[in-house]
């Protein structure tokens, strides 16, 4: 991301984040607690509704503004993972929902009275092969009966609504593997204890992720988004937005690490001079800066294409890969630059180091991105 884009938004985000310093995040990290106050502050400031059209109470801005917000959150040492889905998950509803559905939910999502932060796709047996999901929704009159299981569904305990991808036609009966899947909007407030069980998963970072179990969960048929069987196509745009926005978070992380490393290298003296005078310390930080600037240009490119309505699956994937690698390399350099102090919780390096490592894996793994480029762009044969 161009650090000069949306200057007023960036300054506002920085001011907000200043109220949530490192000790706030360290306390949450230790207790694995959701950052409720931070999410409320972002909501009240209107930062989570920037992509929702003005007619529904949002700002009606493009993905470029959203990337600026998330980048600054992460550069400030905060973490947008607790709430970034509130920005983009509603995109499937916005683009493919009925006028009645949009009017019923988008205003509440815009003002924060409704949280749509859960996106139920991944399953234990299918992993990244989404066409092999098994969670099934059987139509019975005016409702669907849902049975199955999801895993790595973040924020499910802190969301009022969830977009759920299910099979409505078995894979072996669908015309194509990607057909026969549908999207349901699930009201979590009614579902929990009535066919939905949420089980938290403790992980390396404080990411509020869970496993979901569906046992004859009833969902009103009117909660079907778009046409039955076309759900996979509906979620693809949302996945592109997710990858671009998470790429911007990685740019923010990378710049956090570069800021911290270069400052420490200027100030820390060993053997009578700043350690930043040593090429072995200076050059890796400089290389991280170059890599991050290049990745930021790819994020800009992908978000501009998305906002222009140009197909950008490849660009979204490449932006996410380049940005996540830039942040991970900068994290490693920053930790190395700080030496033993980098492992001390009070410096916030080790927390951010753990947090940014996630994006080598989620929301899509680096290997799957390389496979996409190899097969879809370079026309090489699939390995699977």
Tokens of 77: 């040492």
Name the β-bridge partners of 116: 161
Low-confidence ranges of the chain (pLDDT < 70): 1-2
Q: Is the dihedral of CA 232, 379, 371, 298 positive or negative?
A: negative
Tokens of 19: 């109220």
**140 is known as an active-site residue:** no
CA separation for the pair 219, 167 (Å, rounded): 14
CA separation for the pair 181, 367 (Å, rounded): 25
Burial 284-322 (b: 16+ CB within 10 A, else e): bbeebbebbeebbebbbbbbbbbbeeeebbbbbbbbbbb
The angle at the Cα of 188, spanning 136 to 115, to the nearest 5 degrees, equals: 125
Closest of 230, 89, 252 to residue 168, by C-alpha = 230
CA separation for the pair 43, 39 (Å, rounded): 6
Condensed to tens digits (0 to 9), the pLDDT of residues 1-37 reads: 667 799 999 999 999 999 999 999 999 999 999 999 9
Say what the pLDDT of residue 1 is.
Answer: 61
Closest of 243, 248, 324 to residue 67, by C-alpha = 248
The answer to whether residues 219 and 184 touch, using CB atoms and an 8 Å cutoff, is yes
Say what the pLDDT of residue 367 is.
Answer: 95
Q: Check 123, 228, 242, 291 and give the catalytic one.
A: 242
């Amino acid at each position: 991301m161009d650090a000069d884009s949306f200057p007023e938004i960036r300054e506002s985000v920085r001011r907000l984040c200043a109220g949530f310093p490192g000790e706030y995040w360290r306390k949450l990290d230790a207790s694995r607690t959701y950052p409720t106050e931070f999410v409320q502050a972002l909501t009240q400031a209107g930062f989570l509704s920037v992509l929702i059209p003005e007619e529904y109470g949002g700002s009606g801005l493009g993905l470029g503004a959203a990337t600026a917000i998330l980048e600054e959150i992460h550069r400030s040492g905060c973490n947008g993972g607790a709430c970034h889905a509130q920005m983009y998950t509603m995109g499937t509803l916005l683009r493919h929902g009925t006028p009645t559905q949009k009017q019923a939910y988008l205003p509440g999502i815009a003002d924060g009275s409704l949280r749509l932060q859960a996106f139920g796709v991944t399953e234990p047996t299918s992993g990244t092969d989404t066409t092999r999901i098994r969670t099934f929704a059987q139509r019975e009159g005016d409702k669907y009966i849902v049975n199955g299981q999801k895993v790595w569904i973040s924020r499910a305990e802190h969301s009022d609504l969830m977009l759920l991808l299910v099979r409505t036609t078995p894979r072996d009966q669908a015309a194509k593997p990607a057909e026969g899947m549908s999207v349901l909007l699930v009201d979590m407030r009614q579902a929990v204890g009535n066919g939905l069980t949420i089980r938290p998963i403790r992980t390396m970072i404080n990411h509020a992720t869970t496993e979901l179990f569906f046992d004859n969960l009833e969902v009103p048929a009117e909660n079907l988004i778009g046409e039955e069987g076309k759900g996979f196509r509906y979620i693809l745009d949302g996945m592109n937005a997710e990858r671009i926005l998470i790429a911007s978070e990685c740019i923010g992380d990378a710049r956090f690490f570069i800021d911290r490393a270069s400052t420490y290298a200027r100030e820390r003296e060993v053997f009578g001079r700043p350690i930043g005078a040593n090429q072995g310390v200076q050059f890796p930080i400089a290389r991280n800066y170059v890599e991050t600037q290049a990745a930021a240009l790819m994020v800009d490119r992908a978000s501009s294409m998305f906002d222009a309505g140009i197909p950008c699956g490849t660009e979204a994937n490449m932006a996410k890969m380049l940005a996540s690698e830039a942040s991970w390399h900068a994290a490693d350099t920053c930790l190395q630059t700080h030496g033993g102090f980098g492992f001390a919780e009070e410096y916030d390096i080790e927390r951010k180091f753990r947090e940014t490592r996630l994006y080598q894996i989620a929301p899509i793994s680096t290997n799957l991105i390389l496979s996409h480029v190899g097969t879809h762009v370079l026309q090489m044969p699939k390995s699977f």
